[in-house]
Structure formats: C-alpha cells, structure tokens
A and B are shown apart, each in its own frame.
Chain A
Amino acid sequence: MDNYRYRRADIETLINEVLTFSENNPELAVHITTVFRWIFVVLAAYILLISIVSLLTTRATPEIWGYFMVEDGGGFPITHWENVIGRSKSTDITIPLRTISNNHALLVRRSEDKWMIKDLSSNNGIKVNGYRLDPEKRYVINPGDLIEMGGTRSTITPPSLEETRNNRYMRRLDREPVAPWKILLAITAFQLMTIVQLILGMGTEITATALISIAVLSAVMWAYVMIFNAMGRRGFEMEMIAFFLSTINLAVTASSDPSSVIKELIAILLGLSLMIFMCIYMRDISRLRKIKPVLIGLSVIALLINLIFGTAKYGATNWIRIGESGSIQPSEIVKLAFILIGAGTLEELYEKRNTIVYAAFSLFCLACLALMSDFGTALIFFATYLVVSFLRSGDFSRFVLTGVAAGAMGLIVLKFKPYIASRFDAWGHVWEAEFMDDLGYQQTRTMSFGAGGGLLGLGAGNGSLKYVGAANTDLVFGFVMEEWGFIIAILAVLCIATLSVFAVMHIVAGRSTIYTILACSAATMFLVQTMLNVFGAIDLFPLTGVTFPFVSTGGTSLMTSWAMLAYFKAADMRRNASLAVRKEE
C-alpha cells in the first residue's frame, strides 16, 4: 500500500511536471504531439507487423503419433489424435478400395499405447483380431492388433524411437516464433509515451489512477512473458497483440472516461487469469467433455437472471447491475461457454444427440438475446452457430437454408420492432440530409471525426468524438481513427483477421477437432464482432452496437476477449509455443 502511495505521488509529480512544462513552453509542447504521432504509428506498425508476420509464417510440422500399416499398402503416418479411415479423399487415412466405405472407421488416440476404434456404420464392417465390432460401440485396441476392413488387413504400430526422434528433430527445425523481447520494449515505449501524450492532451482532466493503470498493464505484461518464458514457452505473438490492443483500450478509456480506466485494468487482469486457467484446463480433452453440461447449466442460469433482473442501456436489456456502480454483461461471458459447447471431438461430431443439444442451446441463447433486444450479440451468436454447424457437418445446403430461414425471421422481427427497422432506413444513406443529424448521427460523426484524424491521428486525449454517445464502445473504430490515426485503426482490424487466419492455418497440425473448432469458432466470433462494430460505425452495415474485441471500453467484453484468446492458444501446435499444450521434451 505504501508502495502504491509512493508510485501515485510519483505519477502526480510527473503530471505536474509535464503540465508545467507545457505551460511554460506551449510552442514546444504542441510539437511533442506532432512528433509523437509519427513515433506511435511506427511503433504500432513494428509491434503488430512483427507479430502478424511471425504468426503467419511459422507453421508447425505435424506430430506423428503412430503408423497405420496396411498389408501390401505400406504405412500411413497418423498425424492427429482423431482420424477418419475411409475411401473418401477427405479422410485422414485414405484407402482407395471399393470395399471400404467413404467414412469407414474412427480411430482415436487415447494415450501412448491405447487407441480407440469405432465403426462409422460402414457397409462391410470392421473385425479386430477376428472379432466383429458392433457399429454403435467403441473399442479400445492396442498397437499390433489386427484390424480387418473390407478385406484389407491392417494394424497400428507406435512410431519407433528413431522415427519419434526424427519427428522431433523436424519440429525443432521449424521456424521458431519471434522472440518477444523487442516487441515488449516497443510496447513499453508506446505505453510510456501514451502516458505523456494523455497528460498533454487531457491536461488536468486526466487522473493519476488512469495513468498508473497503464503502467501496471506494462508491468503485468513483462511479468507474464518472463514467467512463461522461464517455463519454456516460446510463442507470445497473440498475447503481444492483445496487450497492444489493451493499451489502446486503456488510452481510449482514459480519454473518454478517466475514472473507468481502473475497471478496464481489472478486467484485463481477470481475463488474463481466466485465459491462463483455461489454457491449462484445456490440455486434457476429457475434462472439456465433462465440463460441457455444467457450462450449459450455468449459461442458462446466467441468461435467465439477465432476462429477469437486466437493465437497459442503449436500447438493449443486456446488463445486470452489481452494487453501486458496477454492472456486467452476462451474454459476453456466455460467449465463452457457447464456443466450448459447440466444439466437439471427432467422435462427438458423429453423435446425433450432441448436435441436437448444441442446436437447442443455440436456439435458447438466441431467444434470450432477442428478448433482451440485443440483436447485435444475437447476430454474433447466430453467425458463430452457422459456421460451427458447417465445420461439424460439412452440410453446405443446410448452412444456406438456415441462413435464409434466419433472414426471413429477421425480417419478421423488423416488422414488429420498428425501432430496429429504422436503423435499416438510414443504412447506406447516413450522409443524406434526412439522416445525417438523426438516425445517421453516430455514423456521420464517426466518419467525420475519424477522417479528421488523418493517417496519424490527433493524439490521445485530443479527440472530440468522445462527446458522442457510445463513442468508446460502438464507435470505437472512429475513436481510434481520430486519436490514433487511420493506420493504427486498420492495424487493429488486421490483428483480428490474423488471429483467424492463424487458427485456420494450424488445423493441419491439430490434435483433435475440439481444438480446431474452438479456434475457428472463436475466430468467427471475433470476426463477426469486428465486422459489426466497424461496419456499423462506418455505415457499411446498420449500426448494431457491439464491441470491438479488446479495444472497446467495457469490462465484461474486455475480459471475455482475453479469455477467448485461450481458444486460439489451444490451436497453436508450434513446438512449445503455447501454454495450452503440454511441453515437449
């Protein structure tokens, strides 16, 4: 506590010094911002481009878990924990024989020498060691067991010591993720400059607590990287991106509402802790399967509580008040559960019951969100549901049908909710005299102030969009454009796009579909959320009022964004990169 007071005094001294300096040298002070704007953009480009390039150019060589040896057909390396054997080219182990069904069998690795096999209702069935398998059941088999399918004889052999060594050697040759140190230094420089710029921009309106929060974020960032680096982890690009975007979040919040910065910091710390916990928890697939029913129950309760006790903010009743000034958004937290409930192991994907449970849960969530009039979040959930269903079933026609049906439903909703429909009137026409000061007010201001920022921005604290409602949440893209410039705003969008491309790229080396679906699903959620936020603010889409991941002010949303990062970490199969994967020797 003494220590805190000491720091607080320090920062107050800093504020006074900077303010005195700028009072005594007004000419020089404005030029500090002029120079800072350039440095900010250069630092941001350095931080984000290095991280983005590292994420997109480092690919993991798939690990080999065993060989599937076919008589007279040679051996197939098994590169996933979950594999489909069949005639179809889209299977993981393809045996092009007429007697083999398209998707014949499911082969799942359980542990070092335990495998599980299941007949996927094939035409000619499976025999193991001469015993005919029941298609409904799964069987544990050992390496060396004789597997007969459609007249072929095959077996699983564990990789030999040499092959294992070889594979590890190959993986060691993979390009390593970029080392975090230079990026850390760049972010720290960015944060310190942000503190000075905020004092220059805000003057006496800035609070010491807000500035300390930025410094604490910096310290937490260093601690996080140092601890996990010491524990042998190598990949930090995603966290670097998240820490950078969080810095922008704190700066945006400091500029618009200095007293809330501390809340944002707490949300980051909670989110970061939750992310670490989830990463470690998700290492074990069986735990994930067990927690699902619990999460369904908790989500249902959370949404029901929201429906009953919720309070309205900007038209949507998606908030619950806690105490005097606190409030949380249960639907944001339910996002985390929603992703997990939609994901499944390959085996689960072949279970009808699992699919029905997911569909029912999705429907419930959508109904609740509709009742709360939170149509933006409903759209995010629905889009995620669509994409996940497609990833699970591959049924494109159903994907389209569901989309069309939902579109029709949406039209019905519009008919009964003129408040929502009116937003569509202004859509694409916000610059027309009829809308520019009315339904298009927020969008025209976003674009006007945003364009006023130019490529380099006016400097943190110098913006004026902050006086427009929801500027630091729904319109945050314009906020960032105005204070930080078009380049940094675009880089923030590229970060979200990169996380998504990364998730897709790493399916090749994925162990289980549960991880790849988690990552793709989280990616979809981030993407749709970003699209709705950005496109809504700049009139490419009706304004729906959702947050920009990491950047928008709002504790619950910020915390969820951080926790969601765990799903991306779980898909990162680069050697010892991610703390969501057990360490390799």
Chain B
Amino acid sequence: MRKQERRAWICLMLVMVLLAGVGLFGYRFVKSGGEWATFYGNTQIYTDGVINRGTITDRYGEEILRCTPDGVEYYGGYETRVATVHAVGDPQGNIPDGAISIFKSQLIGYDILNGTYDTTANGKKIALTIDANANRTAYEALAGRTGAVGVYNWKTGEIVCMVSTPTFDPLYEPEVSEDEENSYFFNNFLDGLLTPGSTFKLVTAAAVIENMSDRDSFTYECDGVNQIGEGENAKLTDVTEHGEVNFRDALAQSCNGAFGALTREVGAKTMAKYAEKAGLTEPVRVDGIETAAGSFDFPKDDDIKLSWAGIGQADDLVNPCAMMVYMGAIANGGEPVQPTLIKSATFIKELTGGRSLGRYIDSDTAAELKDMMKNNVVENYGEWNFEGMDMYAKSGTAEVGSRNPDAWFVGFTDDEDAPYAFVVWVKEGGFGSEVAAPIAARVIRSLGSVSE
C-alpha cells in the first residue's frame, strides 16, 4: 500500500499541470481579456463586423460618431467627417490607428470585472483630445494638397489637432488603394516617413550647442554655391548669397553652407547620436499606437553626404509626430511630454503635466534653441504673421527628387493658455515659410485662447 501511496505523486503532477494551465490562462485573461472581448467575432458587441455601441466626441464633447446595432451614425457635416476620420477611424477598419479600433475596449466599456456587461447596451462615451474645429480648419488650410498637421499641448501631451490628407468621407468609403503612400487611409502624421529638409537643422543646432564651446566665434562665408569638393553634387547651394553668417544667423537664414560646415565640425558620430537623442529614430507611443520610426545615415568617410545629412537631406527620414515631440522637448526645457489622444483626468494632467518621455536635451540647450527659434521668427518669418502668439519656429523646404519641394513648418507657442507644439508638412508645397507657416498660424488661432 505504501508503494501506491508514493507513486500517487503522479496524480498530483497532473493536478499541477491542470492548475498551471489554468493559471497561465488566468494571466492571459487579465492581460488580453480586453483584446479578446473586443474581437470582431464577439457578436454581443459587433453587428456585421462593426462595433455596435459607444460614442466618440472631441475634447469639448462635440459628438463625432455613435456606434449602434444599426450601424455607425455620424454627427456634424462632411467636413467634420473627413477632417477627423484619421483620428476617429472608420467602421471598415481600414484605418488601423483610428480611435474606433484602438479604444474599442473603452468604447464598449470593457472592464475585467464586468466584461462587456452593459445594462443599456449603449456603450461608453469617450472623448478624444482633438478639437474638431481645429481639425476642420487644418483640413481647409491644406486646401486639397497632400499633407499633415499635428498640434499638441506640450504641457499636458494632448494632441489637439491631427489631420492627414488625402482623406475620405467614412460614409462613402473608397476602395482600398494599391499605392500605400498615397492612400486615403494612410496617416501621414503617424505613419509618414519624410525628408525633413531644414527643420532638421534644429537637431544639428542642438549638437552644435552641446559640443562646440566656441560656437559664438563661428563664422561662415556663404557665396550661395558653397563648393566643398569636386563634382556637381559637392556644393550646398543656398537660395541667396548669405555672406558672412554666425551660428545664430545661419539658423535664422537657414544657411545650408554654414550648417554643412557645422555638421562636418561636429562629426558623423555626434550627429547620429543627436538624431537619436531628439527621439527621431524611435517610434513615438501614442496610447496604443506606435508611430513610424525615422532613419538617418551619417557617413564618416563622405563629407559631402554627411553635410547633406546635416541639413535634413540625403537619406534623412523623419516622422512628423516625432518631430512634433522634439518641438515639445525644446518648449518644455528639454523633456518632452508623451502625446496622447484620449482625454482623461484632464484636471490632474493640467496640474502635474503629462507623462514625461525623459530628457532629450539639456535645459540650457533647449533655452538657447528656443531663443534662436524666436530669432528666426523675428528676423525671417515676421512676427506680424503670428499676431497674439508667442511663436518659436523653424521652416523647411525639403528637396525630394526633381518634384516641387515639400514645405515644412515646425515649432511651438509659449503662451500660458496656448502651449502648443506643432508640425505642418505640405507635399510639393514649395517654400516652408510661405506655405506651411500660415497653415500653422491659422490652426493655432482656431484653437482659441490666443489673444487677438
């Protein structure tokens, strides 16, 4: 009998296996229960594959859409639909990063205790951080061109405007297009990887500030051609002949020759380090979404290509959202706040600020950059264009192949009630300060709280 008693451990082993399996499932249930419950196969909350409960509003409670068992109902007109569709998402799920997909468990009101249990079956109302009005303004300002506008509050992290064009009316969803880059469904702001042009000089400038103690005595004689070696490609052409420029002027006039020289002085290794420090090589995490990650190539043995890379050309690719966060970093003393799309506990966020992404650059560096960006506005873009705003910015005109250059305008405002970091990109728009800057000004003005 004692033998059987000893051998019976094998039954206890089976018990352990059963409990271990159930334990593992319990862990998965806690971790992924929300994902499982909101799977489109769950006919409790999906009708014909479309979520059947929940309401999405903008930051002021303006209802954008409501999911019902009879389909998705839209509020607001055509312009609201097309201007918010990339943020809100579409019923067909062609926009994978839309709120309707990313926040479906919040829409349904899933929680681990109650699951999808809902006595009203109306789901929950979730407020996005975007301002529907600002989105409409941005959509109008882009005026049919391909582009992206992103604005976030660099103190709280709330993305108040996010528009990507081309866009579409979710009520009459177009066919899926083959060409992903030009697709209606593609969100240039979150998923785009674009040549930054001169906006990248803000990264090069950070590297200069932190690595060249003699930068104040730096001067460069710009002859408009700036030949740096043999061959056609070996010149950093500028629009005009800038003459003798110092570091500060070089940024204000966006002198390619001077920034090429600065890049060479800083060196390839340091440039790569600063592209990374500026957060441009990693995806930005926005709630459940991961943006595309930028990439750069700073060759050690090719001064010409290195110079081009230092002024935002060559193989440089940035993601607009990451660029916006870098603006937030400069605005916020070197430590950017993580962007978010869902509005929650605003009161606490306003008191304590949003979640920090850690230190990107020194606070002194940030202060100097900020000062130079103000100088850009004063000297180059004209403060009268941004009346009522305390504007800090940098324009960009990115050469991409032989087509018309892309227009960029990035920066931030530092007003008590309007602390906004922004990025504007217009494909084939032309000059950044001419084309993109007015869009930024118009959108920020539409956000209100800007003294007229």
What is A's interface to B at a CB cutoff of 8 Å?
Answer: 30-31, 33-34, 37, 80, 82-84, 90-92, 346, 387, 390-391, 394, 399, 436-437, 441, 444-445, 447-459, 464, 467, 482, 485-486, 490, 493, 496-497, 500-501, 503-504, 507-508, 510, 513, 516-517, 520, 523-524, 527-528, 530-531, 534-535, 538, 540
* Minimum CB–CB distance for B17 against chain A, Å: 7
Instruction: Give chain B residues whose Cβ lies under 8 Å from the Cβ of A507.
Output: 1, 4-5, 8
Partner of B42, one of A452, A517, A540: A452
The A-contacting residues of B in range 1-20, CB under 8 angstroms, are: 1-12, 14-15, 17-19
Partner of B1, one of A346, A485, A496, A528: A346
A510 touching B15 in the complex, CB below 8 Å, given contacts A452-B115, A538-B25:
no
Check: B402 CB closer than 8 A to any chain A CB.
Answer: no
Once the chains are docked, how many angstroms separate the CA of A547 from the CA of B339? 49
A458 touching B14 in the complex, CB below 8 Å, given contacts A449-B44, A452-B42:
no
* Minimum CB–CB distance for B42 against chain A, Å: 4
Chain B residue nearest to A512 in the complex (CB): B1
* Minimum CB–CB distance for A95 against chain B, Å: 14
Once the chains are docked, how many angstroms separate the CA of A92 from the CA of B8? 16
What is B's interface to A at a CB cutoff of 8 Å?
Answer: 1-12, 14-15, 17-19, 21-22, 24-26, 29, 32-34, 36-37, 39, 41-45, 110-117, 119-120
A455 touching B113 in the complex, CB below 8 Å, given contacts A448-B36, A501-B12:
yes
Once the chains are docked, how many angstroms separate the CA of A556 from the CA of B50? 40
Are B44's CB and A452's CB within 8 A? yes
Instruction: Give chain A residues whose Cβ lies under 8 Å from the Cβ of B26.
Output: 486, 490
Once the chains are docked, how many angstroms separate the CA of A60 from the CA of B236? 93
* Minimum CB–CB distance for B401 against chain A, Å: 35
Are B1's CB and A517's CB within 8 A? no
Are B7's CB and A391's CB within 8 A? yes
Instruction: Give chain A residues whose Cβ lies under 8 Å from the Cβ of B22.
Output: 490, 493, 534
Are B19's CB and A447's CB within 8 A? no
Partner of A451, one of B12, B18, B29: B29
Once the chains are docked, how many angstroms separate the CA of A455 from the CA of B113? 5
Once the chains are docked, how many angstroms separate the CA of A31 from the CA of B117? 11
Are A497's CB and B44's CB within 8 A? no
Report which residue of A34, A37, A449, A503 has the largest number of chain B beta carbons within 10 angstroms of its beta carbon: A449
Chain A to chain B contacts (Cβ below 8 Å), 28 pairs: A30-B119, A34-B117, A90-B2, A91-B3, A390-B7, A390-B10, A391-B4, A441-B41, A444-B39, A447-B36, A447-B39, A448-B36, A448-B37, A451-B36, A452-B36, A452-B45, A454-B117, A455-B114, A455-B115, A456-B115, A457-B115, A458-B115, A464-B44, A508-B5, A516-B1, A520-B4, A520-B8, A531-B18
Are B14's CB and A528's CB within 8 A? yes
Chain B residue nearest to A383 in the complex (CB): B14
Instruction: Give chain B residues whose Cβ lies under 8 Å from the Cβ of A346.
Output: 1
Are A524's CB and B14's CB within 8 A? yes
A510 touching B14 in the complex, CB below 8 Å, given contacts A444-B39, A454-B111, A454-B112:
no
Are A501's CB and B14's CB within 8 A? no
* Minimum CB–CB distance for A564 against chain B, Å: 15
A523 touching B11 in the complex, CB below 8 Å, given contacts A80-B1, A391-B4, A452-B116:
yes
Are B112's CB and A496's CB within 8 A? no
Instruction: Give chain A residues whose Cβ lies under 8 Å from the Cβ of B11.
Output: 387, 500, 503-504, 520, 523-524, 527
Are B41's CB and A444's CB within 8 A? yes
Partner of B10, one of A30, A387, A450: A387
Are B42's CB and A500's CB within 8 A? no
Instruction: Give chain A residues whose Cβ lies under 8 Å from the Cβ of B42.
Output: 445, 448-449, 452, 464
Once the chains are docked, how many angstroms separate the CA of A100 from the CA of B155? 86
Chain A residue nearest to B119 in the complex (CB): A30
Report which residue of A83, A399, A520 has the largest number of chain B beta carbons within 10 angstroms of its beta carbon: A520
Instruction: Give chain A residues whose Cβ lies under 8 Å from the Cβ of B17.
Output: 531
A454 touching B12 in the complex, CB below 8 Å, given contacts A448-B39, A448-B42, A493-B22:
no
Instruction: Give chain B residues whose Cβ lies under 8 Å from the Cβ of A540.
Output: 21, 24-25
Are A527's CB and B14's CB within 8 A? yes
Are B36's CB and A450's CB within 8 A? yes
List 5 tightest A-B contacts by C-beta distance, closest first. A454-B115, A451-B36, A451-B37, A30-B119, A451-B33
Once the chains are docked, how many angstroms separate the CA of A534 from the CA of B23? 12
Partner of A527, one of B9, B15, B34: B15
Once the chains are docked, how many angstroms separate the CA of A523 from the CA of B18? 12
